[in-house]
């Protein structure tokens, strides 16, 4: 191919200014015609996956953690050997576990709802996903400060969702 290229007279710098005949140029970008719907659908699918996982973790935390704490309280009963302050501590721990389970389940449910809104190209779904992505980025930074690799996943999700949903070409698709 190089011999044919040289034989046509493409020698020297003066002829390289004509990029139309350059066999080594990059191909022209082709419009796919979907106006970024594939990337927006990817955000919706990621919302479904993360929302489902978050909801499942919240329910499991509530059932298993709350069940374990109620089992501990039942075993303690009215035993005179157990310090009353320990019973109060177990009660507080139960409330904290159930609060964490409730918040985790709520975030999972909101993420699933946001995924549905993004899938249907609704503006409220886009805004809810942007808010959840910003929260995820902040929590990801806190996770990284505690040397948890989960923070990378949270930040990756946030960056991807924000890049796609704040792109002016894709914003026009939402109603």
| Range scoring the smallest mean pLDDT among 21-35, 42-56, 96-110, 157-171 | 21-35
Distance CA 121, CA 95 (A): 38
Q: Coil, strand or helix: which one is 29?
A: coil
Distance CA 126, CA 116 (A): 10
Break the chain into its structural domains and give their ranges.
48-171
Return the pLDDT at 57.
96
**Each residue of 62-101: pLDDT tens digit?**
999 988 888 888 887 777 787 878 888 888 988 999 999 9
Return the pLDDT at 24.
76
Give the torsion sign (CA, 97, 102, 104, 105): positive
Residue 173 has pLDDT above 70, yes or no: yes
**Each residue of 21-41: pLDDT tens digit?**
777 777 676 665 666 688 999
Instruction: Name the pLDDT band for 166 (thresholds 50, 70, 90).
Output: very high
Return the pLDDT at 25.
75
**Each residue of 88-139: pLDDT tens digit?**
888 898 899 999 999 999 999 999 999 999 999 999 999 999 999 999 999 9
Q: Which two tokens stand for residue 49?
A: 């996956």
Return the pLDDT at 17.
56
Residue 151 has pLDDT above 60, yes or no: yes
Look up tokens 């959840």; give the residue.
Answer: 132
């Amino acid at each position: 191919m190089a011999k044919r290229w040289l034989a046509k007279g493409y020698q020297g710098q003066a002829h390289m200014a004509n990029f139309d005949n350059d066999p080594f140029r990059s191909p022209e970008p082709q419009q796919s015609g979907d106006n970024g719907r594939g990337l927006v659908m990817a955000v919706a699918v990621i919302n479904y996956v993360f929302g489902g996982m978050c909801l499942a973790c919240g329910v499991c935390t509530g059932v298993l953690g709350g069940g374990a704490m109620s089992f501990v309280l039942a075993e303690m009963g009215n035993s005179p050997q157990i310090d009353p302050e320990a019973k109060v501590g177990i009660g507080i721990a139960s409330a904290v576990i159930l609060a964490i389970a409730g918040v985790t389940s709520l975030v999972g449910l909101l993420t699933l709802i946001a995924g549905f809104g993004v899938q249907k190209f609704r503006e409220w779904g886009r805004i809810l996903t942007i808010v959840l992505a910003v929260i995820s980025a902040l929590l990801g930074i806190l996770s990284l400060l505690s040397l948890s690799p989960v923070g990378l996943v949270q930040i990756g999700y946030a960056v991807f969702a924000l890049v796609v949903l704040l792109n002016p070409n894709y914003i026009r698709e939402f109603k």
